[in-house]
Chains A and B, each alone.
Chain A
Amino acid sequence: DTGVSQDPRHKITKRGQNVTFRCDPISEHNRLYWYRQTLGQGPEFLTYFQNEAQLEKSRLLSDRFSAERPKGSFSTLEIQRTEQGDSAMYLCASSFDGEGSPLHFGNGTRLTVT
C-alpha cells in the first residue's frame, strides 16, 4: 500500500479554463475526502464520499466544483471556469468508516490560476 496519491502535483492554468484532479485513496478505505487549503489556514472541507456515494458537499462550494467517485475507488475533482480565487492546495484524504477514524492525506495538488 503506497498511501493516498494525487495527480498532478502542480497545475497552472489560465482563468476560465477547466481543471481536473485525481485522487487514489488507500484501497481498504471506504471514505474519501476533498479539502482545500490556502497559506496559513487549516484544511477547508469541500466534499466527501462513502464508497461511491457523495454524502456531503460544502455549501461554500460553488456549482463550478464537482467531484465523482464512480466505482468507489479513485475520485476526481473538477473545477470549471477557474477563477484566481481557486488558487490553493487541493488535498485528498481517505479513512475507514466510523467516527474518529484518522484521515490519511495525499501530497495534494497545488493549483495556480493566472
Chain B
Amino acid sequence: GQQVMQIPQYQHVQEGEDFTTYCNSSTTLSNIQWYKQRPGGHPVFLIQLVKSGEVKKQKRLTFQFGEAKKNSSLHITATQTTDVGTYFCAGPTTGNNRKLIWGLGTSLAVNP
C-alpha cells in the first residue's frame, strides 16, 4: 500500500548546528504537508508544498518538494532549543476519499 517514510527517526544536535529530515513517498503526491509536534503536544501545521521543485522558507526553516513530487525535505539552520519536537510529513492518499498518510516522524533533540 501507499507509504510515507521519514529519515532519520531520531536526531540529536548541538544548539547552533543544522538539521535536515527527509520524507519519501511510495507514490507521487499532489501535495505534501509538514507538521511539528512538541513533546506532550499535538501536531501543528507548518506548511504545504504543492508544486514540483517548490522551495519555501519560514525564518530558519526551509522546505523543499522534489521534482518528481515523491520526496520532500525540511532543513533547519542554526537549531535552537525551541526547535525540539517531532517533525512529520504527510501526503494525501490516492483514491476518492483522500486523507493524509503520515510518516513516522523525525524526533529532534537539541543540546544547549
Interface residues of A (CB under 8 A from B): 33, 40-45, 48, 55-56, 91, 93, 99-100, 102-108
Residues of A within 8 A of B33 (CB): 100, 102-103
Expressed in whole angstroms, the Cα–Cα distance for A103 and B31 within the complex equals 14
**Considering the chains assembled together, what is the distance between the CA atoms of A48 and B97 in angstroms?**
10
The distance in angstroms between the C-alpha atoms of A76 and B48, with both chains bound, is 29
Q: With A99-B98, A100-B30 given, is the CB distance from A42 to B105 under 8 Å?
A: yes
Rounded to whole angstroms, the CA-CA distance of A113 and B44 in the bound complex is: 27
* Contact in complex: B42, A100 (CB < 8 Å): no
| B interface residue count range (under 10 / 10 to 19 / 20 to 34 / 35 or more) | 20 to 34
* B contacts, CB < 8 Å to A: 30-31, 33, 35, 41-45, 48, 50, 88, 90, 92, 97-105, 107
Residues of B within 8 A of A45 (CB): 99-102
A102 touches B104 (CB 8 A): no
In Å, the complex CA distance between A99 and B50 comes to: 11
Q: Which residues of B contact A99 (CB under 8 A)?
A: 30-31, 92, 98
- A100 touching B45, Cβ below 8 Å: no
Query: Which residue from chain A places its CB closest to the CB of B44 in the assembled complex?
Result: A105
Q: Which 7 pairs across A and B sit closest by C-beta, in order of nearness? A: A102-B45, A42-B102, A105-B42, A100-B31, A56-B97, A55-B97, A42-B104
